[in-house]
Amino acid sequence: MNLKRLLVAALAAVALHANAFVGNYDEGSFTYNSGKQFVVADVFNFQLTSPSSLRTTLEITKSNGLLGLGLFDALDNSLIGSFFLSGPQGATTTRSFANLSTGSYYYGVLGGFLPKGSYTLHSSATAVPEPAALGLALLSVGALGLALRRKKASQSV
């Protein structure tokens, strides 16, 4: 019974020590540098205004740490993808999330450091051309090629 109370008290102390951060961003491109902390429980909300791909980099910038990052669709809280990072200061990992549609998303970062540590999250969004725009571009290049061919043929006559 005493062990159970001690465990609950220890978990409550860790939870109270967590510096939860909630950030709201207009687009999927941003950089966040955390302060020194033991426990990480951060959320980063953002909008994609056009179909995009995300490139996400997570780096431990101070101390030894273990971090997990998940990308979620904010509409139904479904997990799109995730990755983990553990190691000493300077450990880095990058992951790409391709073909995301227009809408609301969020990153969730959970983990901890021993002793207190920090991390950097960098997210960059790149617009993915829509199929109709790509088709129109190819049609334009084809029309230019045909016009050049006709011009060349008329000059040689």
**pLDDT tens string 16-34:** 444 566 777 877 788 888 8
Sequence-ordered list of residues with C-beta below 8 angstroms from that of 11, at least 6 positions apart, any chain = none
Q: In this predicted structure, what is the pLDDT of residue 14?
A: 43
Centre a 10 Å sphere on the Cβ of residue 71 and count the other Cβ atoms it contains: 22
Rounded distance, CA 108 to CA 95, Å? 14
Residue 15 scores a pLDDT above 70: no
Q: Prior bond to 115 cis, omega within 30? A: yes
Task: Work out the mean pLDDT of the chain and round it to a whole number.
Answer: 81
